[in-house]
Structure formats: structure tokens, C-alpha cells
Amino acid sequence: MPPSLRDLPQIQSLLDQPNVAQVAARYSHGETVAALRDITGQLRSALLSGRDCELPDFAGNLFADTVVAAIEAMRTSSLRPVVNATGIIIHTNLGRARLAPSALSAMQAVGAAPTNLELNLDTGKRGSRHDHVEALICDLTGAEAAVVVNNCAAAVLLSLMATAGGRSVVASRGELIEIGGSFRLPDVIAQSGATLREVGTTNKTRVSDYADAIDADTAVLLKSHTSNFKIVGFTAAPARGDLAQLAAEREVILIEDLGSGVLIDLSAFGLTDEPVVADILKAGVDLVMFSGDKLLGGPQAGIIAGRRDIIASLKAHPLMRAVRIDKLSLAALDATLRLYRAPFDPLKEVPVLAALSQPLARVKERGHALADDLRQLGIADVAVQQTAAFVGGGTLPEQDIPSFAVCVALPGLSAHQLMAALRQGDTPVIGRIERGEVLLDMRSVSDAELPAIIRTFKHIANR
């Protein structure tokens, strides 16, 4: 006869059994009860759903092992480090930028002790959290003033609310982007209380289109980086300087949402569509905003730089409190920005830029080191092959960077099964599938992570 709900023992009677009592003595009564509730709850749903289900031998050692595994799982947090072998250097699902050691120690220092976050040490009076990084951002971008919020999406929303709420925003049809499910520019403009005036066409927008659309109600001309797509062929967009001149003449504000802003020229690494923030401000853009955790290589943050009067109005806006940056991110951002100044070389010190700029020969060497170690294990077929990595984080998908990957196959496992097994290691390894094969891209992996990859393969072999 198939088991029924009546065959499920009570928690208390399980606790009274010697096998479970031993677990409770080793761990704790509370954790054991929680694990038993979890296990019996799953069995109950299985029975109720009518699925074929076998009940375990509740008095046996195997059941005690299941309880221990459930307790261990509850002790492990769901959020943990993984190895990014996808080849996408700034992977939003994998938490974007890896932080520099100096940024990590800054977070540690500020997290472990009280800080002068909002205390002016000279006067002993209340200070502003914005003061800590403003001068640094101005120095690196040439901006008059700057302010930092929680992320770039918040930066766009706050900026539009403060400059255009209740009035209209003129934007090109070719730039009305969606960055990810919940960030669609037309929706953000609507949320800010402004009205969107679309101008031009999908492929061509001229300065005259903007000029014709400006009326007494217009507050802002909005330019945005098209980030994750590109219109090619018969296209036109106004030069930034021309748009800036128009905005100045007609006394409206020119705002540019850059997404992944860069502070130094990265065109030598194939990133020709990433204008440097300082150049954008020099061209006359009033306000520019960009992410802290994309190409900048820092923590999640939204940096807004530009005209002093506009930045002052952002700082005073009621929404500011809701989108303000926290002290840990602020500390990490400050430390990251310092790596862009002497005596440091950001291409060496900022991990995102180091991954992007490391010579192909180094990437290949790492691939061979991993391949050799994997061959020693004798469980997988391995080959090192040249491939293409990507910057990610909204930087153009076609701007690929030469890379090397280790192609791995395990006898008896499909590519999808191997990917799933790699995700189950103590340190999950996230690769990618290309033409039916599992690739571990070495451009987004660091040397220090190779032992963790080997451990994960050992774990798979021992299952």
C-alpha cells in the first residue's frame, strides 16, 4: 500500500529516537527541530500531491544523515562566492565588479567601527556623507560638483525628478532603452513626474529634431547610452557638443545617462563606444550619471557629476534620503576612486580593468595551468582553446575581447548536466556552453581561483 499522511511521524517522536537524539546532541535542539519540520514538510507535500513517494526509514542512520545535511544547509548562507568562468567580466547576475583589496579593507574598517559618516571633524558639527567623495570625483572628471546615490537607476530617477518633475523631457526615439526588466527609460521618466517628448526616428535623430521639440514646458534634453544594443547602418545622432549648445541657447538642461561610465580611455582594449566622463562634461553636458559597479570597478553606486546648482538641488531633494548611499559602499567607492590617481595604475589595481587589459598570453597561461591540473585528476577531457570574452554590464555585446577557455567534458554527463554539477560545488563554478560544449573562460577568472575550480571537479568526481 502507498504511504499516507498517517505514516508521517510527529516531530516529538522523531526527536525521541536515538538516531535523531544524537544529531540534536551534536548540533542543537532548535536546529534539529527546524530540519525535521523542513524534511517532514517536504514529505507531506509530496504525499498530498499524489506523487510517487517513498518514506525513509526514520529510525535509520540514513535518516540521521538527511537531518544533518538539512542543518548544514541551513547554516550555509544562500549568498556566497562563486567562480565567474563565463567570460563576461561584469556579470550582473554574479554581482558585477570584483572589488580591489583596498576597497575591501576600507569596507572592513568602516564596518567594524563607528565612522565620521555625517560628522565634520573640524567643526564637531553635523557633516554630510556626500562630502567624503565629492572632491575626488570632481578631480577625476573635471566636474564642478558631484553626488553619489545607491545606483545609476536611482541617479537617473532622482535627476529627472529634481530637474524635470511636472515638465517635459525630450529624448531620441533611438535611445529609449530597456536595461533590464525593471528599468525602461520611458517608465522611469513617467515615474519622475515628467512627460516624455520623443523626437527623431529609431535610426536617425538630428539636432533640429530636438530644437523643434523644445517649448516653454521643456526642462531637460536627455541623452542615454544605448548600452546593450546598437543601431548600425543608416544612422545619425547629434554630436554631444551641438546638443549642449542647443541646450544652453534654449536654457534647458542636458542630461546624459551613461550607464557604464569610464574615467580613463579604454579604446585600446576595443571599447571604442565608451566616452570618458571628463570629455562628456567638457563637451558641455550639464549632468552625467554612471554606475559604480560597472567599468568603474567599484561597489554598487550611482555617481552624478556636473553643474553645481543642479547637484545642490539634488542634494536637497526629498527623494535623496530614500536613495542615499550606505557607508560601506561609500568607503569602497572612495578607495576605488583613489586607485585612479597617482601613484596607482588603475589598469593594474582595479580588478575589472585588470581583467579587461591583461595580455592574452597571461589568459592562455592560466588556461594551460587549469587544464594541466584537470588532466592530473584524470576525470575529464580537457582542451584549451581561443575564444571571445565580453565586458558585460551594459557595454556593447559586440565588443568582444580575445580570450582563452578550457573546454571540459566528463564522460556520461551532458554539457547541461556538467554545468549543473559545477554549480553544486562548495565554490560553485559558472561557465558557459558554446556549440554544445562547456567552456571555462579564463579572462574572468583569477589565478587564485584555480584551486577552487579543481576542488569543485574533485567533488563532482567523488559523487
Ligand X SMILES: *Cc1c(COP(=O)(O)O)cnc(C)c1O
Interface ranges with ligand X (CB under 6 A): 151-153, 156, 179, 183, 224-225, 227, 257, 259-260, 291, 302, 394
Among residues 99 and 421, whose Cβ is nearest to ligand X? 99
Type of residue numbered 45 = S
CA separation for the pair 245, 256 (Å, rounded) = 14
Among residues 225 and 317, whose Cβ is nearest to ligand X? 225
Tell me how far, at minimum, the Cβ of 145 lies from ligand X, in Å. Answer: 20
User: What sign for the dihedral angle of Cα 156, 157, 163, 164?
Assistant: positive
Tell me how far, at minimum, the Cβ of 93 lies from ligand X, in Å. Answer: 12
Q: State the residue number with the nearest CB to ligand X.
A: 259
Tell me how far, at minimum, the Cβ of 96 lies from ligand X, in Å. Answer: 8
CA separation for the pair 382, 407 (Å, rounded) = 6
Tell me how far, at minimum, the Cβ of 257 lies from ligand X, in Å. Answer: 5
Tell me how far, at minimum, the Cβ of 302 lies from ligand X, in Å. Answer: 6
Tell me how far, at minimum, the Cβ of 109 lies from ligand X, in Å. Answer: 25
Among residues 130 and 366, whose Cβ is nearest to ligand X? 130
Nearest partner of 187 among 229, 211, 157, judged by Cα: 157
Among residues 152 and 445, whose Cβ is nearest to ligand X? 152
Specify the 3-state DSSP secondary structure of 399. coil
Among residues 151 and 358, whose Cβ is nearest to ligand X? 151
Among residues 70 and 356, whose Cβ is nearest to ligand X? 356
Q: For residue 330, how many other CB atoms are within 10 A of its CB?
A: 24
The order of strands in the sheet holding 302-306 is 145-149, 302-306, 287-291, 253-259, 218-224, 168-172, 195-199
Tell me how far, at minimum, the Cβ of 394 lies from ligand X, in Å. Answer: 3
Among residues 152 and 162, whose Cβ is nearest to ligand X? 152
CA separation for the pair 194, 177 (Å, rounded) = 17
User: What sign for the dihedral angle of Cα 333, 336, 338, 341?
Assistant: negative
Tell me how far, at minimum, the Cβ of 292 lies from ligand X, in Å. Answer: 7
Among residues 238 and 393, whose Cβ is nearest to ligand X? 393
Residues 148, 337 contacting (CB under 8 angstroms) = no
Among residues 394 and 425, whose Cβ is nearest to ligand X? 394
DSSP for residue 99: P
Element holding 88 (H helix, E strand): strand 88-90
Region of 231 on the Ramachandran plot (φ > 0 left; ψ -120 to 50 alpha; else beta): beta
Question: How does strand 400-409 pair with strand 381-392?
Answer: antiparallel
Tell me how far, at minimum, the Cβ of 153 lies from ligand X, in Å. Answer: 3
CA separation for the pair 444, 431 (Å, rounded) = 10
State the burial class of residue 54 (Cβ atoms within 10 Å of its Cβ: 0-12, 13-18, 19+).
exposed
State the burial class of residue 23 (Cβ atoms within 10 Å of its Cβ: 0-12, 13-18, 19+).
buried
